[in-house]
Structure 1
């Protein structure tokens, strides 16, 4: 990671990184995703198939397959990615391991005007309030892209610098914000600024920090956005 990349991750709360996954590995990962989904990339009629093991979010055109352990997809989490995580967080490389399974986040084309969803940060949308706020761990969330995206093609939408504002809100009154749900619910009390659309290509990976505000968006184009999610966490 360059000093500029480290600064962006530190100050803006996110970093879209390229070149950490060889093209042939990313291509095999994309092929494996299509196979795991049981869909034909060249036949849109197959794109509405939802695996019996998937959680269907039809309002988002985003069926989620949890704990997917397809080897060619997991191979995309390369040593270069793990080294990048170490450089971004300061965590020893030996403590960073590739995932054994992932969560898919494939966004399929839908009709209608493009829009992004409600801003949130990870862990803050669980009404059951089982995600405690403190102590705040070192953690990095990631979205690894297995297809090329274009603007309004289901890209992630993010708010640069929002992680500092939301963390500041939480730390301003720990007794009021024992759970991440409480912090997320008071997002309206801070100015998170203007959001940006993160347009990625196959083989890119988006790293983002705790409390980084982001949102999914509608895929108003004609090709699915294939991606998978993983989180690394180290308690302090």
Structure 2
């Protein structure tokens, strides 16, 4: 955690230039184990499938909810996006080995895209600004390619770019696959071109995405956070769950007392 905090200026520069960060060994092994145990319990209640997409996953288990304000990552997100932010999405993806490319109802792959609404965010000279940032916690061995890894096009967030093919199975000359070990963290903005490759290996992919956006945007997971999530929540977690004021105007212009994350800002 100290290492990441001390490197925030350098990481910010790298993120702005390359459009992504891969941080090694962010979560300790015991935390990864507890998260995987929680995921086992969630999947036990789901229909059997080769592929799972579980949205609003923070409301499914406290261990996952604990990542909302993960102290090793949050100061960096504040530096990248500002302090008037909230949790935008929490999305668990599991891809079991699928060498035969069997189609599933829960999307066993995702073609090349930028995240965002339809129609997409407005552009200026063909370039979309960063509206939200995703933190991907890698929870299985993704140290080799072709294990259902996330593919990205570095630097595609700040230039006019259109892939030659949107089919994730077609290898693009600019693409790289994000390879990491359990406990590593991958961070990228919504405007980076990326894709979720099929899993043709004998390893199961487990990745947990938590996205952050300005608090004036609508979150994807819920209209308002559940009472269970808000109960006993710290002021910082309440802000990240979108609870800062009864007056919607304050989502745009908050008083300092409404945004405790400002205390973690480097500015």
TM-score norm. by structure 2 comes to 0.61
The unaligned stretches of length 5 or more in structure 2 are 102-108, 165-171, 217-251, 253-267
Please list every run of at least 4 consecutive aligned residues from structure 1 whose deviation after the TM superposition is greater than 3 angstroms: 134-138
In the alignment, which residue of structure 1 is the partner of 2:62?
Answer: 71
- Residue from 60, 69, 77 that aligns with 1:85: 77
The answer to whether the Cα contact below 8 Å between 2:20 and 2:188 also exists between their aligned partners in 1 is yes
In the alignment, which residue of structure 2 is the partner of 1:102?
Answer: 90
In the alignment, which residue of structure 1 is the partner of 2:262?
Answer: none
Note if 1:143 corresponds to 2:136.
yes
What is the CA distance between 1:48 and its match in structure 2?
7.3
Aligned-partner SS, 1:212: coil
What is the CA distance between 1:100 and its match in structure 2?
9.3
Note if 1:219 corresponds to 2:199.
yes
In the alignment, which residue of structure 1 is the partner of 2:48?
Answer: 49
The unaligned stretches of length 5 or more in structure 1 are 40-46, 51-60, 170-185
Note if 1:205 corresponds to 2:152.
no
Q: Deviations over 1:203-223 (max 9, x none)?
A: 222111231001111111112
Structure 2 distance, partners of 1:154, 1:48, is 21
What is the CA distance between 1:81 and its match in structure 2?
1.2
Structure 2 distance, partners of 1:110, 1:145, is 19
What is the CA distance between 1:30 and its match in structure 2?
1.1
Note if 1:196 corresponds to 2:196.
no
More strand, by proportion: 2
The alignment's C-alpha RMSD in Å is 3.1
The answer to whether the Cα contact below 8 Å between 1:153 and 1:223 also exists between their aligned partners in 2 is yes
Structure 1 distance, partners of 2:183, 2:40, is 15
Residue 28 and residue 87 in structure 1: after superposition, are their counterparts in 2 closer, same or farther (change >3 A)? same
Residue 96 and residue 201 in structure 1: after superposition, are their counterparts in 2 closer, same or farther (change >3 A)? farther
Note if 1:160 corresponds to 2:160.
no
TM-score norm. by structure 1 comes to 0.68
Q: Deviations over 1:155-198 (max 9, x none)?
A: 100000000114xx7xxxxxxxxxxxxxxxx655xxx9601010
